[in-house]
A and B are shown apart, each in its own frame.
Chain A
Amino acid sequence: MALYKLQINGKTVQTEADPDTPLLWVLRDNLGLVGTKYGCGIAMCGACTVHVNGEATRSCVLPVSSVSSAKITTIEGLSKNGDHPVQQAWDEVDVPQCGYCQAGQIMTAAALLKRNPKPSTEEIDATMSGNICRCGTYHRIREAVKVASAKTK
């Protein structure tokens, strides 16, 4: 066990964990930030996507010891009132079915739009294809990314 000081959602938090513990489980088990989901644990599904210094990152394969002072944003910290353009678009388009994959989808989409505010359909598909939705909400995800893109000036 080691003590880690992490920068999460704009706050400094301290927590104890084994160095190889993936950030995902530190968020979920230690910090109660359960919005970030476990789906595969091997970087194949995207359910665990968070932002590390603004980049969409798979937290299930990111050891807490490698995070150091990076700025981490989880779904809980994407916006203060749940009104990030991507979250708004997701609601407007009514994307979720079961909803389990959606935090990861949103974090992936938000990072994409930050990097490329006006992505083409192909660019949306290329980026979002890393995230599995077992319920098959892909059409609405694609539409919601476009709606969010229109909101992003």
Chain B
Amino acid sequence: MTSTRRSFLKIAASAGGGLVLGFNWFDAVAADTLQAGGGLPALVHSSKNAAAAASVEFNSFLSIAPDGLVTILSPNPEIGQGIKTAFPIVVAEELDVDWNRVNVVQSALDNKKFDRQLTGGSGAIKHSWTRLRKAGATARQLLMQAAAQRWSVPVTELTTDKGVVFHKASNRKLPYGELVADAAKLPVPADVPLKDPKSFKLIGGTIKNVDNKNILTGKPLFGIDFYREGMLTGMIQRPAFGYKLKSVDAKAAKAMPGIVDVVTFKNNVAVVGKSTWQVKKAREALKIEWEKDGSTESNADHDRLFTEMLNGGKATVQRKDGDVDAAFKSAAKVVKAEYQCPFLPHSPMEPMNFFAHVKFGPNGPESCELAGPTQTPDMARNETAKLLNIPADKITVELTRMGGGFGRRLKADYVVEAAELSSLVKAPVKLIWTREDDMTGGSYRPAVRYRFEAALDAQGNLIGYKLRGASINAGNSTRQDNFPSGAVPNLLIDSVDHKSPITTGAWRAPITNFLAFAEQSFIDEVATAAGKDPVQFRLDLLDKAKASPTGAIKYDIDRMIAVIKLAAEKAGWGQKKGADGKAVAQGFSVYFSHNSYVAQVGEVVMQKGKPVLQKIYAAADCGIIINQSGARQQVMGGIVDGIGHAMYGNMTFKDGVPQQANFNDYRLIRMNEVPAVEVHFVDNGIEPTGLGEPALPPTGAAVSNAYFKATGQRLRNQPFINQDGFKGVS
């Protein structure tokens, strides 16, 4: 990285005689955006509507203007996980500047400047932590060297604070802005010291979302807000799962006002026109006949398939320790249970959309401009390059803020659709999916059924454990090296998968979003059968994994123990009494995913004979907290998400046709349905890991285990509201 920075800095310096012009993304949008007729506003990418000033670009991440304004580029797609705030905090920390003088700008896709411009797997912070720190620290070092030269003092005598270099001995100081021109001429140091985390000023503090002002005043930020002069709007009618296009009569649609064209491609029928409403109405006027293309599936088929897969012999062994058969033969007690979860759509509040403008030369497509919400801009570009048969470097991708994604925007299908549509109608097109398209258009959390079996000896020790995952389009639906693997001497984990025409994809915390619920609920069943306290039962297993481990494991035992203890302590586990003097029903759950650890305690109280979920306590370990506000927000949001989908989420199919299409028949959790949530973090100074996903997986079991404690009923199938005898939790 150092060498590219060095050469980049040289180019920048020579191009502008020591100064390069600053970024051109300060799309200042007037406070009054009402602009009837023409000149619709351009997207805003900057956190401040600052005037462009001549800036020195120190490296991929940052530039500083002579007036001291620091511009930090945020490379990763912002989906609501807070990366556009968190990344710049880390850079600004090492640069040692006043946060109020930092302007954050969303970068377009730029493979030369950045690697891993991707939002997925809660992996950005872990990947970039050191890179970001070095970017800030290197620039700070150059500025100090420039000051040292100017004052003819050793650089070691200098200190910095809030964008100013100090020489305390001579009582002199210079703001960064006055040093940038000199600093740009210096060679970039290969190695720079990083701050001692104890001296962090910004990291670990509470910093607000950098886009707040733009969000709260309704500025154009999102892909769906994108506007370009001459742009058309497109919508596509797609087949259900297992169908293909037979015929289309577009005569009526084409004759409707504002409609420019109706085109057909790959079993899709697309309407392109001047405004969203006109296009939507024309699409409804299409007369389309679909025909079956292979098999079509219903929920009843999946129920049958689950049973067959669980009972059939053809599973792929994922992990095998010891002698499971012998353990179960010698067991004093065997516990068995099955857990099931349905398909789920992602339902980000901003439906899929993308802008594409394919430009043609004499021999066909030559270049393409893309803009919109994507978690994987690089993949979107590569797939578009393949479609258009042009080199990837002929395609630009502008990243907009995303109205959520939850994994849906890891797929580039809708980006490629937009490009294909633009190339067919030879015009700039913004493709919009309606909510119905979004919900029925094909990318779901896979449906899974698990069967767990546990063997206990006479003392209640877990001596054998079996898990089989049976899934629809999930691949391996287990995480064989997660807890309780390592703690059980005889263990067998295998999986079977059915390939279905119903397309699935990553959904916030893939696999673990349901596996954690099933496993942590089952562990509770086993602890209950063993007559042990569920927290102590887990701690005993972890002690055992530490003292006499069986096989390799992916999790850190001590970190898992620490979150368990913190959650139990904060919740007053086992001691808490309600206003009526009776013990509060508590349920425990803990899970390791995406390199972070989260333990939760759910509390259910009976009110007028009805169970009410009153609170969730969470203890999380993601290492160093970069931003208290953002971190808490992710944990709380993950828990709300976890409760909502466990309780209500259900996507069903009949002959390949999705049976829910909008929020009238697909239920999302609402404000009156959320319990109190209390969040705690383990403070251990370990390098930070992500939080976009890890708080969600343990939630379902914290709820189901507390519900069991209160009612004696096990919740083994999601959504809970569909379970027989479910009494509700609010």
Contacts and interface: CB of A to CB of B under 8 A. Distances in A.
Interface of A: 1, 8-9, 11, 13-15, 17-18, 20-22, 25, 28-42, 44-45, 47, 74-78, 80-82, 87, 90-91, 94, 96-103, 106, 124-126, 128-142
A37 B403 contact: yes
A40 B672 CA distance: 20
A134 B225 contact: no
Contacts of A15: 36-37
B348 interface: yes
Interface in B613-641: 629, 633-634, 636-641
B208 interface: yes
A80 to B, nearest CB: 7
A98 B350 contact: yes
Given A44-B664, A94-B209, A99-B215, A137 B220 contact: no
B347 A134 contact: yes
B697 interface: no
Contact of A32 (B35, B216, B258, B634): B35
Given A94-B212, A98-B401, A1 B217 contact: no
B669 interface: yes
Given A21-B277, A82-B217, A97 B669 contact: no
Given A91-B216, A94-B212, A138 B434 contact: no
B637 A126 contact: no
Contacts of A34: 41, 218, 220, 224-225, 227
B304 interface: no
Given A8-B34, A142-B671, A133 B349 contact: yes
Nearest to A35: B218
Given A94-B633, A98-B401, A132-B349, A41 B216 contact: no
Dominant SS at the A interface? loop
A132 B640 CA distance: 12
Contacts of A130: 670
A37 B633 CA distance: 22
Contacts of B636: 136-137, 139-140
A19 to B, nearest CB: 11
A96 B215 contact: yes
Contacts of B640: 136, 138-139
B33 interface: yes
Contact of A18 (B277, B663, B670): B277
Contacts of A11: 34
Contacts of B670: 129-130, 132, 138
Contact of A129 (B39, B227, B257, B672): B672
A11 B32 CA distance: 11
B358 to A, nearest CB: 22
Contact of B663 (A42, A81, A138, A141): A42
B356 interface: no
Contact of B435 (A39, A90, A102, A136): A39
A126 B281 CA distance: 34
A55 to B, nearest CB: 19
Interface string B222-245: 101101000001000000000000
Contacts of B220: 34-35
A136 B225 CA distance: 22
A134 B404 contact: yes
26 contacts: A15-B37, A17-B277, A32-B40, A33-B218, A34-B224, A35-B220, A37-B222, A39-B663, A40-B435, A42-B663, A45-B349, A45-B663, A78-B217, A80-B31, A96-B211, A98-B78, A98-B349, A98-B350, A99-B401, A100-B404, A132-B670, A134-B641, A137-B636, A139-B640, A139-B674, A139-B676
A125 B671 contact: yes
A77 to B, nearest CB: 7
Contacts of B664: 40, 42, 44
Contact of A1 (B32, B33, B221, B257): B257
Contact of A13 (B34, B79, B224): B34
Given A91-B213, A137-B633, 19 more contacts: A15-B36, A29-B277, A31-B36, A34-B220, A35-B220, A36-B218, A44-B662, A75-B218, A81-B31, A91-B216, A98-B402, A99-B80, A99-B215, A100-B222, A125-B672, A129-B670, A135-B404, A136-B638, A136-B644
A91 B350 contact: no
Interface in B64-99: 78-82
Nearest to A86: B216
B637 A137 contact: yes
B351 A38 contact: yes
Contacts of B217: 35, 75-76, 78, 82, 87
B337 to A, nearest CB: 29
Contacts of A18: 257-258, 277-278, 281
Contacts of A75: 216-218
B155 interface: no
A35 B32 CA distance: 12
B441 to A, nearest CB: 15
B435 A41 contact: yes
Contacts of B347: 134
Contacts of A139: 636, 640, 674, 676-677
Contacts of B403: 37, 98-101
B5 to A, nearest CB: 32
Complex A-B, nearest 7 residue pairs according to Cβ-Cβ distance, in ascending order: A35-B218, A100-B403, A98-B80, A136-B640, A75-B218, A32-B40, A99-B215
A29 B677 CA distance: 40
Contact of B36 (A14, A80, A82, A90): A14
B534 to A, nearest CB: 26
Contact of A138 (B35, B39, B671): B671
A81 B636 CA distance: 30
B79 A98 contact: yes
A77 B34 contact: yes
Nearest to A141: B671
Given A29-B276, A39-B349, A135-B404, A90 B216 contact: yes
Interface string B641-680: 1001000000000000000001110001111111011000
